[in-house]
C-alpha cells in the first residue's frame, strides 16, 4: 500500500467522483492482507482479498496461512476473495516447486472459506491449469488477474468457471495477443483492473496507476469490440460484483 500512503484519500475520492462503483484491494502476504482489510474498514467503497503471492511462497509459514484464513473468517463482509496466489516463473523469488506447493495449499484454503480466488500467473500457464484442475471444482470461481495468455488459454479458464481480468497493458501498441482476448472472450467473462500501482494504461503509461484509470481500459475495450463504453463498464462491474458476491457502498 506504500505507493498510495500519502494520498489514499485523494485516490479514492477521484475514483468515487468519476463513478467508479467500487475497489478491491489485494493482499499479497500477511502484512499487506492486514493492510487491505484495514483500508476496507475505513472506506465503504473498498473490499479486500487476502493471500500470499508466489514471490513470498518461500518465506510464508503455516501459522501465517492460518492467520490469513482467520482474517477472512473474522471479516466476511470485507474480505471477498482469496489471493493473490499462483505461480511466477518469470521472477523466481521462490523455487517453482515451493510455489506450486503454496499455490495448492491456498487453493484448498480458498475452498474451505468458499471464497473466489485471484490468481497470478506469469510464464506458468500449463502448471497453473494443472494445479487448478487437480484442486477439483472451485465452486466460488475465480479470476485470472492481469491476464497474459492467449485466447485459447482464456477460453480454457472460462470453461473452468474463471473470469479473465484485463489490465492496462491492453492499451499498449504491441499488446496484440491481449487485444485479441479482450475483443473475443464473452463480455460476461471479463473483468478490468489496474494492477496498481503498476501498468497504467495509455495515456498514463509509466506513471503510478490508480482505480480511476480503469475508465481508459473500458474505453479501449469498447473500441476493440465496437460497442458503447457504458456497456463495457456496466457489464464488467456486474461481473465483479457477481464473482465476489458483494456490492459497494
What percent of the chain is predicted at pLDDT more than 70? Answer: 99
Segment 79-129, tens digit of pLDDT: 999 999 999 999 989 999 999 999 999 999 999 999 999 999 999 999 999
Query: What pLDDT shows up at residue 97?
Result: 98
Q: What is the pLDDT of residue 1?
A: 61
List pLDDT tens digits, range 222-241: 999 999 999 999 999 999 99
Statement: residue 249 has pLDDT above 90: no
Assign domain 2-244 to its CATH superfamily.
Metal-dependent hydrolases (3.20.20.140)
Element of type H or E holding 67: helix 62-74
Residues 6 or more apart in contact with residue 105 via CB below 8 angstroms: 65
Q: What is the rounded CA–CA span in Å between residue 138 and residue 194?
A: 25
DSSP state of 243: H
CB 218 within 8 A of CB 232: yes
Mean pLDDT across the stretch 130-150? 97
Q: How far apart are the first and last CA of the chain?
A: 21
**The pLDDT of residue 157 is above 90:** yes
| Residue 3 pLDDT > 90 | no
Cα 53 to Cα 102: distance, rounded to the nearest angstrom: 9
Q: What's the predicted TM-score (pTM) here? A: 0.97
- Where exactly are the structural domains of the chain? 2-244
Tens-digit pLDDT profile for residues 178-221: 999 999 999 999 999 999 999 999 999 999 999 999 999 999 99
pLDDT at residue number 5: 80
Amino acid at each position: 500500500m506504500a505507493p498510495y500512503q500519502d494520498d489514499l484519500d485523494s485516490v479514492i475520492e477521484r475514483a468515487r467522483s468519476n463513478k467508479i462503483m467500487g475497489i478491491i484491494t489485494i493482499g499479497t502476504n500477511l502484512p499487506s492482507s492486514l493492510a487491505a482489510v484495514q483500508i476496507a474498514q475505513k472506506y465503504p467503497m473498498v473490499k479486500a482479498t487476502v493471500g500470499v503471492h508466489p514471490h513470498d511462497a518461500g518465506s510464508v509459514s503455516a501459522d501465517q496461512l492460518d492467520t490469513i484464513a482467520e482474517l477472512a473468517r473474522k471479516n466476511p463482509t470485507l474480505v471477498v476473495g482469496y489471493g493473490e496466489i499462483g505461480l511466477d516463473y518469470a521472477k523466481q523469488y521462490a523455487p517453482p516447486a515451493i510455489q506450486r506447493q503454496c499455490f495448492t495449499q491456498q487453493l484448498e484454503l480458498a475452498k474451505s472459506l468458499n471464497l473466489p480466488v485471484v490468481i497470478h500467473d506469469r510464464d506458468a500457464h500449463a502448471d497453473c491449469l494443472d494445479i487448478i484442475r487437480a484442486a477439483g471444482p472451485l465452486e466460488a470461481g475465480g479470476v485470472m488477474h492481469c491476464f497474459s495468455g492467449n485466447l485459447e488459454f482464456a477460453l480454457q479458464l472460462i470453461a473452468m468457471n474463471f473470469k479473465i481480468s484485463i489490465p492496462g497493458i491492453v492499451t499498449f501498441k504491441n499488446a496484440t495477443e491481449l487485444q485479441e482476448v479482450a475483443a473475443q472472450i464473452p463480455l460476461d467473462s471479463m473483468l478490468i483492473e489496474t494492477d496498481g500501482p503498476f501498468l497504467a494504461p495509455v495515456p498514463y503509461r509509466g506513471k503510478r496507476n490508480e482505480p480511476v484509470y480503469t475508465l481508459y481500459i473500458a474505453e479501449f475495450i469498447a473500441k476493440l469490440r465496437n460497442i458503447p463504453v457504458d456497456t463495457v463498464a456496466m457489464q464488467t462491474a456486474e461481473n465483479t460484483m457477481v464473482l465476489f458476491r458483494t456490492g459497494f457502498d
